[in-house]
Chains A and B, each alone.
Chain A
Amino acid sequence: AQSVTQLGSHVSVSEGALVLLRCNYSSSVPPYLFWYVQYPNQGLQLLLKYTSAATLVKGINGFEAEFKKSETSFHLTKPSAHMSDAAEYFCAVRTGDDKIIFGKGTRLHILP
């Protein structure tokens, strides 16, 4: 069965520092992978998605993620963190039976 694992329920970085949020997936079929962001008291919104085209995917707000099949990873990065990036981030995978399954989430804290 397909699943995603996010390493670290909380990550803190200083403003201006590199953001790295980790996601590993398991999938028996070529995966569709997603990163979503959730701001307080809001629903989730799509940051970026991988659909078997380019392995480096660029999303909104300066985020990008790289699909690495050999490592079964889809880590999210941003070169320079901004205070407005503080939120919860979810990695997700589309399963073979068309479900979208989410990881447990990583809360990103930005330190001034």
Chain B
Amino acid sequence: DAGVIQSPRHEVTEMGQEVTLRCKPISGHNSLFWYRQTMMRGLELLIYFNNNVPIDDSGMPEDRFSAKMPNASFSTLKIQPSEPRDSAVYFCASSLDLAENTGELFFGEGSRLTVL
């Protein structure tokens, strides 16, 4: 069975450009999480969805960040406009259903974003 698939794996862009990161969760998983990893701040939860509905976006740093989950098999995280401080590795993770199990997360390999 395929794991969580993220694209692109690497993205280099210039400040001010729009960035879109994509995630395909494991089939049958109802919960999806977006995390950001930096050396300074570690792993930060940005937003998570349950059954395609955003449950908590309190970790989204500011209005430049937005996330959508139009269906059970696809989610995007968009940054517009991007800034150098957004440089990080962005992880998507999925889970069966947090409310009904222990909440084990399955992570993608991450998207490394560099904003120049």
Given A43-B109, A49-B104, A51-B102, are A99 and B48 also a contact pair (CB < 8 Å)? yes
**Chain A residue at minimum C-beta to C-beta distance from B98:** A98
B-side binding surface: helix, strand, loop or mixed? strand
- Chain A residues contacting B102 (CB-CB under 8 Å) are 32, 49, 51, 94
Interface pair B45/A45, CB less than 8 Å apart:
no
- Please tell me if the beta carbons of A94 and B98 are within 8 angstroms of each other in the complex: yes
Query: Hey, what's the 0/1 contact readout for A42-59 against B, CB within 8 Å counting as 1?
Result: 111110010100000000
Residue numbers of B with Cβ under 8 A of A are 4, 31, 33, 35, 42-43, 45, 48, 50, 55-56, 91, 93, 98-99, 102-105, 107-110
What number of A-B contacts does a CB cutoff of 8 Å give? 57
Interface size for A (C-beta < 8 A) is: 22
Pairs of residues from A and B, 8 with the lowest C-beta to C-beta distance, nearest first: A43-B107, A98-B98, A102-B43, A104-B42, A94-B103, A51-B102, A44-B107, A43-B109
Which chain A residues have a beta carbon within 8 Å of chain B's beta carbons?
32, 34, 36, 41-46, 49, 51, 90, 94, 97-105
- Beyond the given A94-B102, A100-B103, please list 13 additional residue pairs across the A-B interface where CB-CB is below 8 A: A34-B104, A41-B110, A43-B109, A44-B91, A49-B102, A94-B103, A97-B55, A98-B48, A98-B98, A100-B98, A102-B42, A104-B42, A105-B43
